[in-house]
Structure 1
Amino acid sequence: MRHLPLLAGMLLASSALVPATAFAAEKGAADDSGADGGAEGAQDSSGASAPAPKAFTTGVAKGRDLLDTAISASVLDDHDLAQLSVSSIAAIMQNIPGIRSETSDIDGFSAITIRGLPLAAEGSKFLQLQEDGLPVLEFGDIQFAGIDQFLRADLTLSQVQAIRGGSASTFASNSPGGLINFISKTGETAGGVMQVSSGVGFDLKRVDFAYGGPLGGGWRFHAGGFYRSGEGPRDIGYTGFKGGQIKANLTKEFDGGGYIRFYAKYLDDRQPNYGTVPVIVTGTNADPTIGFVNGFDPRNRAYLSGLTASIPEVDRNNNRTLIDTRDGLAAKVKSLGFEAQFDVAGWTFTNRFRFSDVSGEYNDNVPFVTAPAPFFAQFGGPGGRLSYAGGPRAGQAITDARLLALSARIYADLESLDNVTNDLRATRVWNAGKGKLTTTLGIYNSQQDMRMFWNFASTLQDLAGGSRNAPVNIATAGGVPVTDAGLLAYGFAVGLPFSIYHNRYDVTFDVLAPYGSINYQIGRLAIGASLRWDKGDVQGQVFSPGFGGGRPQFVAFDVNGDGQVSIPEGRVPVLPLSRPAAVDYGYDYVSWSAGVNYRFADSLSAFARYSRGGRATAENAIGTETLDPIAGRPANPEILVSVVKQAEAGVKYRKNGLSLFLTGFWASTDERNAQITADATGQAFVAQIKRTYSAKGLEFEGEWKKGPFTLVVGATYTDAKIDKDVLDPAFNGKTPRHIPDLAFFARPSVELGRFTLGAAVNGTTESFAQDSNQLVQPGYVLVSPFVQYRPTDSLTVAVNAFNVFDELAVVSLGAPTIPASGIVNAQVMNGRTVTASLRYAF
């Protein structure tokens, strides 16, 4: 990356001054006031004050009291996290107002958005996820590489800080909707904790540990991590969860103040991809009832099986390979970084740097056509035959009308998503007249690799469920095989419009972004503004059959190595390795934000803000339907950047154990994307969209503490619509899919001596399954109680029951209307999942 040597030189020069300079305090809360500020500290679940909190540092210039700031922000601390009954990143975010998170409580295959911004595809396009102040990936919606796949929550996690709108667009790149920052513990207090946990009634065992404290001479450290293994809460027949992570940091605090910190992380973990499964939908579009196919209950089963796990394929270099889909959502991350803060001539300098070696796999099995067996026998021509291709019934003929599914086997080799990031900023507070002027200047630089390979196949299997799904063969009436061990086609079967998904990307995104802010505080009034200019440089090459001389490239190839070329092997998609499409283009955009805050009293303030932020398009800009392979850039420049505009105003109140925050918002964005949708029969297809969206609503967050009682609540009301659809005006004025009118959560708890009792309640009202606004997606309420018992001060026994009433919580329905077959793909939350844990603190 050409800009990093300059930044590294600046950092090294400034680091030489560390021992002799006066440092700004690391915790630095409420050190000044302004309109681009931070959030107040959290308290523990017992009602007693928690240890002194870190300053709110996410998406702001300096940490400040929330009542002095013109932003809408939230904090979850480690006490809150212990009560949530979930461990996945996306499920944690469901407990932050304004966030809409679709998940099966796994890290990956999630769709996350904020304030009604569209969920056109998976991932988090307008919302950036950070770890310790730097992005996990530069882009949150890389296809088959959801950002939460490479992030884990464990006992090393100190806080989750979230800023919605506000200055997020100017203090980070590609984050116009907001920022969520996962902050690690750094060993301020000596001590450690060891925790063992196990599923009750299902196989998943986990060990967590964390330890840290002062080392003397201004040094302190913290280290911890987890390891887990087991089948998991859904019946899949093999070890789906396996792996863990370890994190460590070492901090040196200097006598005059300030610090320098070094940190490292190693993550090697895999999870099953629960994905979507077929369900039966009856009733009407306005009032549907969800049922189960062949008793296949998706709350405790998945469309996964060891009997269908092995798939022969061709790799990124057109060589034979064997894919093991049991690897599921696999993530490997090796990170090294450092952070420093110091004062020079009245300026406070802060630098964060991290290098992350990121790789992994994405495996999914999506049932695209579910139908009675005779429908698929037709693929063998008149008199076509069906039989089991594996499992205990291998070779047995299928002569009845049992349901089978033609599925898309999706495999993505995430060879390298490495990124290098550096963020250097300088802040100074000036006396200006009767007030204080805070100025911040910064420069951000990142390099994001995108080396990945996508490979799809079409397979046929039954729907036995309970880890017994088995592959099915098709043969002609004369016994000639049409499939190979249940594999119907390498790539997509004839008739499925997905031929573009056999691609290899070797591309690097280089981002340079100078930014700055000013804030003026006089008396009770604070006014501020911030500005950022993002400049991107994209270089590399893309390999795709669509760039192979004007027509898709298919060859006859003995993929499974049995010495014969079968019918499926007669048409195998391969990459034109000698004819890549070059990628070489640039983009830039400007983001800005301005706000005002007025503190009427110690307990009451109000704010208003307007922001404009941009978001660069990642690999969607260089796919076979968007890239001009001759020019090396997207054929339509409009796809390069999406712009989000937001206005917000809020009131904040905090006094005597009661805090109430209410924010009204309006958000608008233009979207150029591709989304997977379905036709009236339920058949999936990829649709290009070119739209503008808008949303307005209210966010509420409150906390009440009285003696042993604590109640935390949050709710978001959203009125969203598609303002204009350029490609299909029939969608004008429709409500975007999966956006409910109301989403809410509540966490009541009570401290009774050595017992803590409580529950986490999460719910949404109904929404529309697709943008056509026909089929309604039912709302749900999940109740997840917890109990903690402390027989001694250092020992805690806890039981958490997620979804204790076993509610069928549908987060995604894949059809616009109830099809004639009544079969629709759905993604659902886990059913009742009880976990017991034993924690020892020392």
Structure 2
Amino acid sequence: MRAIRGLRQVLRRSTTRSSSLCPTRSNSLSLLATALVVAMPATAQAEQSTRFDIPAQDLAQALDLFARQSGVQILYPYRMATGRRSAPLHGKMSARQALARLLRGHDLAVASFTGHVVTLRASASPPARPHAPRRPVPTPSRVTHPVPLPPPAPAADILVTGRAAATPLSAPELSYALTEIDADTLARHGHLSTADLFRQIPGFWVEATGGEASNNIRSRGIPTDGYSSVALLEDGLPIQYDGGLGYLNTDQVFRVDATIDRVEAVRGGPSAIFAPNAPGGSIDFLTRNGLHDPGYTISAAIGDFGYERVEGFAGVRVAPHLGIALGGFYRADDGLRNPGFRADQGGQVRAGITYDDGSVRLSANVKRLDDRVILYLPVPLQFGDRGDVQAIPGFDPLFDTLAGPNNVHVAFKTPAGPQDFDLSQGTHSRITFYSLTGRAALGERSAVEVKARLRTGTTTRNGLFPIGRPSTGADYLANAWPQLAAAFPGAATAQIRYAESGKPLTPQSNGNGLVVGANLLAVQLPMDEFIGDARFTTRVDHWGDHDVALGVTYADTSLRYDRQMSTVLLDVTGQAQRLDVVALDGAGRQVGALTDNGFVRYGSLFDAVSLHASNLAVYLADEWKVTPRWRIDMGARWERTLIGGGVEGAVPVDLGDPATLADDAVLSCNGVVRRIDRSFAGLSGTVGINYHPAPATGMFLRFTRIARLPSATEFSALPDRTDEAIVPITMWEAGLTALHRHWTLSIVAFKTDFARLPFIDHRFDPETNTYIDRISIADTTTIGLELSGHADLFGPLQLDVQATLQDPRYRHFNFVELVDGAPATRDVTGNQLIRVPKLSVRATPSLDLLAKKLRISAELVHYSGRYADIANTQRLPAFSMLNAHVNARLTDHLSLALHGTNLTNALGLTEGNPRTGSFDSGVAGARYFLARPEFGRTVRMTLNLSY
């Protein structure tokens, strides 16, 4: 009977370098490195003669090729094979003889050899390896010791992101760019947030300055914020189907902890075929389980900003095919910018069970997140005499925030009575996820896989959002005086006082005499969501080898969006205090006030929205191996979304207090609901070609055409808008991958075009204390180059580099503005996309010392200049930062890590203040402005114990 080509399964553990770099994998025999299964009789297979043609190469790759040519399943500890050079093997011989020749001179021996399965183990006396190449050794975040393999051992769970089949490919064989980050690297770098982790991915521009959640990420010049164009997945299934929901980014409901095994990030390529809302890429977090990754880990961390964190994982194989796992974290801190109250506090817990007998795999887990984190927003800054960005006296932009105790538990006045606003809630997510996956083999060529996730819970978002720009108290009073004089005829003068103490504001009060407006915003977002994905895969041998996948994804999302906001006046200082603006008569007696308890306007925003979205997607993909050196990967996705719901209208209400103007126009519901009933559908497709001339070299070319569908929350404020439509996205990319014993290199060139994309200028007007919107339909185009590489330089010195060079531009973009009171059209075609740098570089030199028990590394980061607005009037200067990490292996089970970030206290601005206007920020020529900088210097230490 003819041998059937089976599935090669590899549990890959890689370093932070791109998947186009050399992978590293498990150091335990229990983590199976390769399994090739063929349908051949067990008897005599080991002794029959077979022609072998295996060139000299990495021993792990040679063993893979041996298994493919001999038709046996081979199990071995990957780390003991990778990095070793095999001898060439050519000729006709038995599988036993061939394997003996491959293992000659290496520290691997045959533990058992049956007709179907070969198991290798470490030999008793490993020989010297004088020619073994140096490889980076990760500092152990956990140590996994071999455990006895049950007979037969279950195949390791393989999830390869962005592909039709589960059969892994080597990096040079891929037709797209993939970056992998393993658990050791997650621990080694000690990321402060999920978004901070993504800084290691070439082509991604990450703004991680919002704190642990609510950050922004952009990929390859894609001009949308949040996670609206980059999908976050967990075990191959979206964490949130639409990552760009208003006020509900995916990273608000996701945390990285010890239950995460590794991360695979697809940049562009086929991500939009297999994942929703993913033209820029998809990032898959693969979890640990007790069956394939048993062991115990516990770690404790402290930091210089009151940071305290404990996390752990316990995985146990309770039967040959059954494992259970439990893990999670708890963390509390005073804030990277101290608000005067607990900034972050909470954690999550996950429990899971896994069954895998080699043909049937079932996994279920429950995860509960109850965590609140502060949202850091723009801070006051000033331009120096030479145009350089400087701190304002009395406010440290690296460590201060306007949020503070003075705005915790203040009352909003509403027509229904006072309502408490609690700033300390920040972004508080109380979410439960129920996940279930199953896979069943249908013969030896086909399989069906089903994944489902149910999410239920509520996210609260309370924040202090600065508006406008800082001004002197005198300037503010001058602007407010006409309104005060008209409302209170007996007024002779006006004064700014502190709301609680009644003391007047002076330059000595806060060190600068400046004031700034802010919105106290409270949003409630209860949400229930079901996501299901079913996929059929099969292998077809016709005109080459085809791995084909046909799948369907369904999502049902129900969301409430309840938002209230009031506007206050603050002094410019850390932990700012509310200010009152009062009108005085000639004798100095108060005759009225612009404000009330520091509130300039109660109810300056009101929304009550109910949304429902139903998504159905069907996708088809084919990985076609035309010849041993040529591959063609094709995929298509058709998706339809139905968006429904209702938006309740708002009406201004005068609460009737004659002593203040703050309650004259409080927005409240009017009982009139405007319905939302929209439907959109589109077809996306991609084709990639890979040429693999040698085992260590690969090249690819890919074309992708994507139909981006509108998001449900794009109708929450404007239910009748007609500008929303399918946005066509065209992407080209070409890449080269080269692997060497002492260096690796990945280069990817890309071009991204967006057409007919709506841009909204959502600007808060301090004069009327309301938001003003304007919309423009425009195109964008970006060309760029991504580079990722590793080099063993000399001795213990190594270097890792990730860099992105791009030119992101607006096309066919114009908008209308008022010039001297008359409307005028302004053309900004050719301007640089906002906030995205043309050049970003991350260079990480490292030293492995003391027999690789000590690793010292530095991160040198540089970003070129950017702009805060589409008109390119507010420039965000280029900046560089220095981070450092020390990782020490104290014993086989104990490790210590030290992390220092922004050691030089660089003042790097990542964004301006969107509330002043994204079309034109209006700060040109102004001395004072608002922007969000990187955090100041932090130092953290983590002690990790693993078994």
Give the alignment partner of residue 519 of structure 2, picking from 381, 385, 409: 409
Give the alignment partner of residue 280 of structure 1, picking from 382, 399, 402: 382
Where does 1:158-177 land on structure 2 (aligned, <5 Å)?
Answer: 158-177=261-280
Shift of 1:803: 1.0
Residue of structure 1 equivalent to 2:258: 155
Answering whether residue 664 of structure 2 is matched by residue 570 of structure 1, we say yes
Shift of 1:503: 1.5
**Alignment CA distance shift 1:400-1:719 (3 Å):** closer
Task: Write the distance in 2 (CA, Å) between the matches of 1:153 and 1:403.
Answer: 42
Contact 1:421 1:445 in 2 (8 A): yes
Deviating more after overlay: 381-390 vs 436-445? 381-390
Contact 1:318 1:574 in 2 (8 A): no
Answering whether residue 421 of structure 2 is matched by residue 313 of structure 1, we say no
Residue of structure 1 equivalent to 2:83: none
Deviations 1:769-793 (A, max 9, x none): 3222233211222211111223322
Residue of structure 1 equivalent to 2:760: 674
Q: TM-score, normalised by structure 2?
A: 0.77
Shift of 1:763: 2.2
**Alignment CA distance shift 1:212-1:698 (3 Å):** same
Q: TM-score, normalised by structure 1?
A: 0.86
What's the secondary structure of 1:792's corresponding residue?
A: coil
What's the secondary structure of 2:399's corresponding residue?
A: coil
Task: Write the distance in 2 (CA, Å) between the matches of 1:171 and 1:259.
Answer: 21
Residue of structure 1 equivalent to 2:34: none
Residue of structure 2 equivalent to 1:106: 211
Residue of structure 2 equivalent to 1:377: 477
Task: Write the distance in 2 (CA, Å) between the matches of 1:788 and 1:484.
Answer: 54
Give the alignment partner of residue 447 of structure 2, picking from 339, 343, 348: 348
What's the secondary structure of 1:579's corresponding residue?
A: strand
Task: Write the distance in 1 (CA, Å) between the matches of 2:901 and 2:139.
Answer: 27
Answering whether residue 630 of structure 2 is matched by residue 525 of structure 1, we say yes
Residue of structure 2 equivalent to 1:487: 599
Deviations 1:132-187 (A, max 9, x none): 22222222222222221111111222112111111111111221221111222123
Residue of structure 2 equivalent to 1:700: 787
**Alignment CA distance shift 1:399-1:247 (3 Å):** same
Shift of 1:53: 9.2
How many pairs were matched up? 772
**Alignment CA distance shift 1:189-1:709 (3 Å):** farther
Deviations 1:297-344 (A, max 9, x none): 1211111101122332378x9664211011112212100011111211
Task: Write the distance in 1 (CA, Å) between the matches of 2:868 and 2:549.
Answer: 44
Contact 2:506 2:513 in 1 (8 A): no
Where does 1:159-558 land on structure 2 (aligned, <5 Å)?
Answer: 159-187=262-290, 188-200=292-304, 202-254=305-357, 256-283=358-385, 288-313=387-412, 320-345=418-443, 346-369=445-468, 370-378=470-478, 379=480, 380-381=484-485, 382-390=492-500, 394-398=501-505, 402-433=512-543, 435-465=544-574, 467=575, 469-477=576-584, 478-479=589-590, 480-492=592-604, 501-521=605-625, 522-545=627-650, 553-557=651-655
Task: Write the distance in 2 (CA, Å) between the matches of 1:437 and 1:319.
Answer: 67
Cα RMSD (Å) of the superposition?
Answer: 2.9
Q: Structure 1: any 5+ residue segments left out of the alignment? A: 1-21, 31-36, 493-500, 546-552, 629-633
What's the secondary structure of 1:94's corresponding residue?
A: helix
Task: Write the distance in 2 (CA, Å) between the matches of 1:778 and 1:237.
Answer: 30
Q: Structure 2: any 5+ residue segments left out of the alignment? A: 13-18, 27-134, 145-154, 486-491, 816-824, 914-919
Give the alignment partner of residue 659 of structure 1, picking from 715, 721, 744: 744
2:560 partner amino acid: R
2:665 partner amino acid: R
1:716 partner amino acid: T
**Alignment CA distance shift 1:246-1:40 (3 Å):** farther
Give the alignment partner of residue 719 of structure 2, picking from 619, 622, 627: 627
Contact 1:169 1:614 in 2 (8 A): no
Residue of structure 2 equivalent to 1:594: 687
Deviations 1:630-666 (A, max 9, x none): xxxx433xx1332221011111111314221111100
Give the alignment partner of residue 738 of structure 1, picking from 835, 838, 842: 835
Task: Write the distance in 2 (CA, Å) between the matches of 1:191 and 1:28.
Answer: 20
Give the alignment partner of residue 604 of structure 1, picking from 686, 697, 700: 697
Contact 1:282 1:818 in 2 (8 A): no
**Alignment CA distance shift 1:565-1:720 (3 Å):** same
Higher Rg: 2
What's the secondary structure of 1:330's corresponding residue?
A: strand
Task: Write the distance in 2 (CA, Å) between the matches of 1:295 and 1:398.
Answer: 14
Task: Write the distance in 2 (CA, Å) between the matches of 1:295 and 1:457.
Answer: 26
Contact 1:540 1:582 in 2 (8 A): yes
Identity of aligned residues (%): 22
Task: Write the distance in 2 (CA, Å) between the matches of 1:738 and 1:685.
Answer: 22
**Alignment CA distance shift 1:318-1:594 (3 Å):** farther
Contact 1:678 1:816 in 2 (8 A): no
What's the secondary structure of 1:735's corresponding residue?
A: coil
1:666 partner amino acid: K
